[in-house]
Amino acid sequence: MAKSLLFPEFKIERDSNRCISCQVCVRQCANDVHTYDQEDDTVTSKEEQCVGCQRCVTLCPTNALQVDTKKTGFRPNASWSIQHLRNLYKQSETGGVLLTGMGCDQPYRIYWDHLLLNASQVTNPSIDPLREPIELKTFLGAKEEMLDIDWNHDFPVVKTKLAPQLELNLPIVFSAMSYGSISYNAFRSFVEAAREVGTYCNSGEGGLHPDFYPYGNNIIVQVASGRFGVHRDYLQVASAVEIKIGQGAKPGIGGHLPGEKVSSDVSRTRKIPEGSDAISPAPHHDIYSIEDLQRLIYAIKESIHYEKPVSVKIAAVHNVAPIASGVIRAGADIVAIDGIRGGTGAAPLVIRDNVGIPIELALAQVDERLRQEGIRHRASLVIAGGIRSSADVIKAIALGADAVYIGTSALVALGCHLCQKCYTGKCNWGIATQDPYLTKRLNPNIGKRHLVNLMRAWAFEIKEMLGGMGVNSIQSLRGNKEHLRAVGLTREEMQILGVKPAGEGW
């Protein structure tokens, strides 16, 4: 076979003075980059196969390895980037749709980085979270417009029965990542962390492994177009059910789980044959209109006896505000919106990088639209797609979100290095794989601890920022755009975000 035109993406440098030929790198690499030559007692590397996951670099006991992006000798060309050339070579050799993993990595404007937060000075004292309570408690679900209260008692009695709510200790939920796309140990890390932190984790569309049923009080289960693993117990064990219409990484198409990752356990959980690709249809084949969505929402509500909220997840697309409004009018208690930078275990590259809009703009528009229509209280807004820090969380809340989903940040806490090869099933970090040799690398106890630590750290930071703004409940920041100011944005962008330019006072 002719040598491929595909050039290596990474350059592997091995310091021979440091390398002790211990072969850790050889054993750690699922892509078979490193080979040990017994005769010479040396380790050689095939750069063509390296995905840049940094596993070998991290585990090398003598720090002998360095993996860098490889500088190519191509003549610089502003139009024909290296990435374009690479994709052309790859497609001409394979004739297939290019796959990728994780969220869009293209340099579209990240609006979080153009928003600045406020702090109190003099006229309004800042509040010290070390000395005063600051509340992050969040409830997700439909809210009544007003309460029916019987005042003719010694103490007033609320007669209204509140719509079912999810109660969160902080406004962060672990995003939908299915068992199959991630490993059992990764899934276990999430459910256990969610329980300890007092929040929820979303099962994704891959069903729920029987081991996780006891964690139902902290799990939101998903019903997607593939209906994998959906049955009565699955719906009833969860705290909420989410209908997945769209995903930010691949709006307009359904989920992908390559057959390589469908192990026997995954096949049992998903109710599909082992080794078969699990490709969800692009639309739900029982939802061709908003009325159909309404029917599915109520079918699910019936099956869970109206005791738990039903969420609908949509991707942030051009007309997202009216879509969200329609979804709420169809009966959703929570609307989850996933922006263009939302992650995935597998998606066509061209879709991930070119379809959808940034979540910041979608969020601001949806929140404003729902308020104009007077239906903002009828559903909670949870947003997803590129939440990288506690600052992003708090900015999202100020822009109008009730809570955020985090996927990528949580995976990074588990060890992910964003090599974007989740779809290969060869995740060297034991996260996005089902290979038992690889999955055991992720200890769920340590994974859980890392996730809990991350949530704890973010909660502290959010409290510090809230206190600085003179706000002691996150409820008072929700949709409070007065605490945001924009730098370096155009007038139109600020108008869409509903945020004033930095420098302008109240």
Partner 1 sequence: MREDQQYRIPSGCAVVGILNQDGTRISGESIIRSIAVMHERSNGLGGGFVGYGIYPQYADYYAFHILYDHRQAVPVTEDILRKECDIVFEEDIPFLETREVYNHPYLKRYFLRIKREFPNEDDEIVRLVMKINSSIDGAYVISSGKNMGIFKGVGYPEDIGRFFRLDEYEAYCWISHGRFPTNSVGWWGGAHPFGLLSWSVVHNGEISSYGINRRYLQNFDYICNLQTDTEVIAYLVDLLVRKHGIRIPYLGAVLASPFWHEIECMPEPGKTFYRSLRIIYGGALLNGPFSIIVGFDGGMFGLVDRIKLRPMIAAWKEETFYLASEESAIREIAPDLDLIRPLRAGEVISGQVGERAHHGQKLTVSRV
Footprint of partner 1 on this chain (CB under 8 A)? Answer: 120, 122-125, 127, 132-133, 135, 137, 139, 143-147, 149, 151, 153, 155-158, 160, 162, 165, 371-372, 374, 376-377, 469-473, 475-483, 505-506
Residue 311 or 433: which CB sits closer to partner 1? Answer: 311
How many Å from the N-terminal Cα to the C-terminal Cα in the chain? 68
Query: CA dihedral in degrees (483, 489, 495, 497; nearest 10)?
Result: -50
In sequence order, the 6+-apart residues with CB closer than 8 A to the CB of 387 are: 393, 396, 404, 405, 406, 409
Distances, alpha carbon 19 to alpha carbons 28, 57, 60, 62, in Å = 15, 12, 9, 7
The least distance separating partner 1 from the CB of residue 149, rounded to whole angstroms, comes to 7
Q: Are strands 334-338 and 278-279 parallel, antiparallel or unpaired?
A: unpaired
Residue 361 or 431: which CB sits closer to partner 1? Answer: 361
Residue 380 or 409: which CB sits closer to partner 1? Answer: 380
The least distance separating partner 1 from the CB of residue 150, rounded to whole angstroms, comes to 10
Residue-wise burial string across 321-331, b where 16 or more C-beta atoms lie within 10 A, e elsewhere: bebbbbbbebb
The least distance separating partner 1 from the CB of residue 465, rounded to whole angstroms, comes to 12
- Beta-strand ranges (E) seen in 371-429 are 380-384, 403-406
The least distance separating partner 1 from the CB of residue 114, rounded to whole angstroms, comes to 18
Angle CA(164)–CA(462)–CA(446) in degrees, nearest 5? 80
Residue 52 or 171: which CB sits closer to partner 1? Answer: 171
In sequence order, the 6+-apart residues with CB closer than 8 A to the CB of 348 are: 97, 98, 99, 100, 250, 253
The least distance separating partner 1 from the CB of residue 394, rounded to whole angstroms, comes to 14
- The 3-class secondary structure across 361-381, one letter per residue, is HHHHHHHHHHHHCCCHHHCEE
The least distance separating partner 1 from the CB of residue 389, rounded to whole angstroms, comes to 22
Q: Are 425 and 258 in contact (CB under 8 A)?
A: yes
Q: Which amino acid is at 390?
A: S
Residue 17 or 123: which CB sits closer to partner 1? Answer: 123
Residue 287 or 502: which CB sits closer to partner 1? Answer: 502
Residue 158 or 350: which CB sits closer to partner 1? Answer: 158
Query: DSSP assignment, residue 180?
Result: T
The least distance separating partner 1 from the CB of residue 466, rounded to whole angstroms, comes to 9
Copy the structure tokens of residue 83: 């990435």
Residue 125 or 273: which CB sits closer to partner 1? Answer: 125
The least distance separating partner 1 from the CB of residue 187, rounded to whole angstroms, comes to 30
Please give the Cα distance from 115 to 130 (Å, whole number): 26
